[in-house]
Amino acid sequence: MTINIWTKDLKDCYLWTSKVKEIYVGASKVYPSIVNFATQWPCPDGFHVPLTTEWNDLYKLLRAVWTLNITNFNTRLKIPNMWCRKKSDWSLMIQWSEPDYWSSSCKDNWSWYFFSYSGDRFYPQNSWDTWYWFPVRAFKNEAAVPDSSWTVIYENWVKKICHSSTLWLISISSDWTNWTTIADKNVWATTVWNYWDTLSASNCWWYFQQWNNYMFPYSWNITTSSNQVNASTYWPWNYYNSSTFITNSNKTWDSSVNLNLWWWVDWNVPVS
């Protein structure tokens, strides 16, 4: 449940000059809403897993910068086509053909929105249940404005995409004033992926099963179990962290449907 002012989600709530941290209707917390706030986990400080609306905004921005196609998307943002691991076993799905990346926006208690780009079509509102594993591309909380030390990846009139190999950042702007900044590699990858590179552990790195704080490997075999687990006793800072990937046809691998398993920081609306 969320609070809406007409069609807008409530972002700030004050009692006189004091910010209200939480609002309840009966025993149910309705503000802040987990659906609308970005999560930090598993990104480093200063970064977050983007909301599905942020993926959508990035797509619109890129369309304003150049004629968008999947080759340009991969090349200029250095995003490899990792796709995902199946929920039924540990095998990889359609690697090398399209990118799919987690957002931090949930559709319901057992499915999460993800970004997908297939056949030059963008799908910001696709959702799959939490059994699947996707990589994460971190967005920076505060945009970084490039200076002369950055490399220009693409430039057309006032439209720019710039890369800092020192800061590990890519910044995009369609007006030289407003910038969006993302990491130049997937979460915990050690090497930037370029379009001509072969996919590898170093330039792709980890897959994440939603709400499990374990980083699953890029390519090699892993331990699986078809039995759901009960993660009701875990929470942020007491993470559920298991190297066993739960495979099943049910909607969620956690029988308790615990939605408070991630290390999350609401970088838009502080709640602490």
Retrieve residue 213's tokens.
């704080």
Retrieve residue 127's tokens.
């959702």
All structural domains of the chain with their residue ranges: 1-33, 36-246
Tens of pLDDT, residue by residue over 147-172, are 999 999 999 888 899 999 999 999 99
Check residue 159 and report its DSSP letter: E
In this predicted structure, the answer to whether residue 118 has a pLDDT above a threshold of 80 is no
Q: Which residue bears the tokens 């439209």? A: 159
First to last CA, the chain: 21
Cβ neighbour number for residue 121 with a 10 Å cutoff:
9
Residue 30 C-beta-side C-alpha neighbours within 13 Å: 12
Radius of gyration of the chain (CA): 19
What's the whole-number mean pLDDT along residues 62-67?
85
Name the region of 237 (left: φ>0; alpha: ψ -120 to 50; beta: rest). Answer: left
Q: Is 57 helix (H, G, I), strand (E, B) or coil?
A: helix
Closest CA to 247 of 110, 134, 131: 131
Q: Enumerate residues 6+ apart whose C-beta is below 8 A from 204.
A: 80, 82, 135, 186, 189, 193, 218
In this predicted structure, the answer to whether residue 28 has a pLDDT above a threshold of 70 is no
Tens of pLDDT, residue by residue over 199-249, are 888 998 888 877 787 887 777 778 888 888 999 998 877 888 898 888 875
Handedness of CA 48, 54, 56, 62 (dihedral sign): negative
